[in-house]
Amino acid sequence: MPKNINPIIKKFIPLVSVLAQTFGNNCEVVLHDFSDLEHSIVTIENGHVTGRDNDSAMTEISFNKVVEGNVDKDIVNYTGKSKDGRVIKSSTTFIRDDNSEVIGCFCINFDITDLMAAKKAFNDIIKIESDLVIAKKATDDDNKVSGVLSQLVNQAVKEYEKPIIYMTKDEKVAVVKKLDTQGTFLIKGAIDYVADVLCVSRYTIYNYLDEIR
């Protein structure tokens, strides 16, 4: 923690505890002072979310933006992974002094892993007849391809015997690697389908493939 905290940053200290208590144990709230980037944390609540404490540094994405001077805009609703592979939704707002110079930031990191698992469960439950009607309009060829794709993905995921949302990055990369060796991604729409099943973006699948290849 910086020895001499800017008075403007001090005003945010009470908010850290209030927000953390309001949103619960899955919500990490952090206040940073940029006068010492290596030990920038002024105060932190629910640090178990990212595995940090008062002696830790800021996240890599925030640190890079500060070092590069890319702090014109706040970073809102970006996602990442904790050290143990849980999904974190984050927002960072930069704090400025009276001269509009950035002097720190206020960050919220919310563990949404369980919420994503619940969302997937709810989506399965609330699927309605119109979804089935649309599906029936697919051609026989499309149905055959879709069936093959679904079977390949299900077999690859089944090996891990755990909900997909709790799979680590390494496990998901291994699934993608197996599917790639089987030629799965030659099937039309496979990238989007696998991304949806693994609860990641299509760009993440491309990144996994780059790592593998």
Q: Are residues 13 and 97 both part of a single domain? A: yes
- Residue with the larger pLDDT of the pair 61 and 35: 35
Q: Are residues 150 and 78 both part of a single domain? A: no
Q: Are residues 79 and 102 both part of a single domain? A: yes
- Confidence at residue 1, expressed as pLDDT on a 0 to 100 scale: 46
Q: Are residues 31 and 120 both part of a single domain? A: no
For the chain, give the percent of residues with pLDDT over 70.
90
Total domain count, the chain: 2
For the chain, give the percent of residues with pLDDT over 90.
38
| Number of residues in the chain | 213
| pLDDT reading at 141 higher than 50 | no
Domain contains 1:
no
Dump the DSSP string for 15-75: HHHHHHHHH-TTEEEEEEETTSGGG-EEEEESGGGTT--TTSPPPHHHHHHHHHT--SS-E
Q: What is the CATH number of the domain that holds 12?
A: 3.30.450.20
The model carries a pTM of 0.61
* Containing structural domain, residue 52: 7-111
Q: Are residues 106 and 13 both part of a single domain? A: yes
**Cα 115 from chain centroid?**
12
Q: Are residues 133 and 74 both part of a single domain? A: no
CB atoms within 10 A of CB 208: 23
Tell me which DSSP letter residue 165 carries: G
Mean of per-residue pLDDT scores for the chain: 84
pLDDT tens sequence across 118-129: 888 887 887 765
| pLDDT reading at 159 higher than 90 | no
- Confidence at residue 75, expressed as pLDDT on a 0 to 100 scale: 85
Of 83, 111, 139, which residue is a domain's last? Answer: 111
Domain contains 102:
yes
Q: Are residues 100 and 186 both part of a single domain? A: no
